[in-house]
Amino acid sequence: MSTNSTLPDLRDEYPPHAPGRVPVERTSFLGLLPGIALLAVVGYAGKFVEHAINTYTKAHHITFPNIEYVLWAILFGVLISNTVGLPRIFRPGVATYEFWLKTGIILLGARFILGDILKLGGLSLLLVFVAIVLSIAFMTWLGRAFHLSPKLTTLLAVGSSICGVSAIIATQGAIDADEEDSSTAIAAILALGAISLFAFPLIGHALHMSDHAYGLWAGLAVDNTAEATAAGALYSDAAGKYAVLAKTCRNALIGFVVLAYALQWARRGLANAETQSQLQHKGRFLWQKFPKFVLGFLFISLLATLGNSTNPQLAALGFTKPQLTALGNLSRWAFLLTFAGVGLRTNLRDLFKQGASPLIVSALGEIAIAIITLGLILGADHLYHF
């Protein structure tokens, strides 16, 4: 995101016909307030329903599975988006869900110690690389088998292997894909991401997966960052942390994957003039595509690590325990707005704009990727005991 004063510029977050697309002009702070208020209402409604159901069932000794507010907020958002729709006045503010997501992840760094990240890093990075390569290869093969256009196939492959909507939008410009392909890929990724919120926790519990193993699986297999975060949080708080960490590792590779596709398209003479000009400075291209919130996450984690140091001088440079608690609470509020936005921007009507083939390819690919990554995680867990 770029900024206008302190406001996010949302023009590049969505293609023109994507769910939640805002008008091209920059939006004032007052213009964002109705949508942000709607995010807060929908998100808090999810928390209210979760609390009310839990209180009622406990008081009446009724056995009922605990359904986290995350899922309620998303369901309420999907219901609004696909029934009454989202009036224009709310769209700019609702589109800020990406900003709240990145803010939540940055603040979540307060709950990570760098030592824990480094312990997780080696094996997790290996799994991330393997999962990305297998995902891109399989989705590309599947798209060709169903005779999808090369650009739509590329968008689906990148979206399923890296970070969903953000990767699709970044790649769209690099390969000069049209808006219809982008909208179709985004709609498919979002719809299947919503389904994963139901399926992943059920499978995880059925297999008695540890928080660590399940969190890694959600972070590797669920495409969009918001849905991966939600899928982890639905399992447990600890699983949500691991899901964010694994997903952040995937997100950090977006620039390299987009660069590779841009170079491929340029060699074939299919890249536009703007992309060809950007490729003259590959380092700058990578920096433009790199998700900056990853650096924020690591910086906050560094300060949390310093605050936990036994060295008084180092501890003075970091966060105190009350500050870490406050940052953790702020992260939860940011995610509350994010999860409401996940539902409100999910438009099921966009799924079949190019027929059923893109959705079939996405569904088959997502199932295969989920199974492959689950096998990788269970195998690694058996060998290294997460």
Q: Which residues contact 339 (CB under 8 A, 6 or more apart)?
A: 43, 46, 69, 70, 73, 74, 77, 226, 230
pLDDT value for 357: 84
Q: Quick count: other Cβ atoms within 10 Å of Cβ 362? A: 25
pLDDT value for 10: 39
pLDDT value for 342: 79
**pLDDT exceeds cutoff 90 at 296:** no
- Can you tell me the mean pLDDT for 199-203? 93
The number of folded domains in the chain is 1
Which range (16-30, 83-97, 169-183) has the least confidence?
16-30
H or E element in which residue 207 lies: none
Provide the residue range defining the domain that includes 234: 103-252+291-384
25 within some domain: no
230 within some domain: yes
Q: Cα–Cα distances in Å, from 376 out to 116, 185, 326? A: 21, 26, 36
**pLDDT exceeds cutoff 80 at 327:** yes
Residue 36 in tokens: 């942000």
pLDDT category of residue 2 using cuts at 50, 70 and 90: very low
Which range (21-25, 49-53, 67-71, 252-256) has the least confidence?
21-25
d(CA 266, CA 131) in angstroms, rounded, equals 26
Residue 326 in tokens: 């406050």
58 within some domain: no
138 within some domain: yes
pLDDT in tens, 76-111: 988 998 888 889 999 999 989 888 988 888 888 777
Q: Which residues contact 111 (CB under 8 A, 6 or more apart)?
A: 241, 304, 324, 328, 331
Exposure on the CB side of residue 169, measured as CA atoms within 13 A: 22
**pLDDT exceeds cutoff 50 at 369:** yes
73 within some domain: no
Q: Which residue has the tokens 């960490």?
A: 245
d(CA 374, CA 369) in angstroms, rounded, equals 8
pLDDT in tens, 153-168: 999 999 888 877 778 8
d(CA 206, CA 200) in angstroms, rounded, equals 10
Residue 139, phi then psi, degrees to nearest 5: -65, -35
pLDDT value for 35: 92
Burial-class residue 272 by CB neighbours within 10 Å (0-12, 13-18, 19+): middle
d(CA 182, CA 149) in angstroms, rounded, equals 12
329 within some domain: yes
Q: Quick count: other Cβ atoms within 10 Å of Cβ 66? A: 9
Strand locations in the chain, DSSP E?
2-4, 7-9
Residue 269 in tokens: 């003479």
48 within some domain: no
**pLDDT exceeds cutoff 60 at 25:** no
16 within some domain: no
Helix, strand, or coil (residue 8): strand
pLDDT in tens, 114-148: 766 665 656 777 888 888 899 999 999 999 999 98
pLDDT value for 7: 38
pLDDT category of residue 201 using cuts at 50, 70 and 90: very high
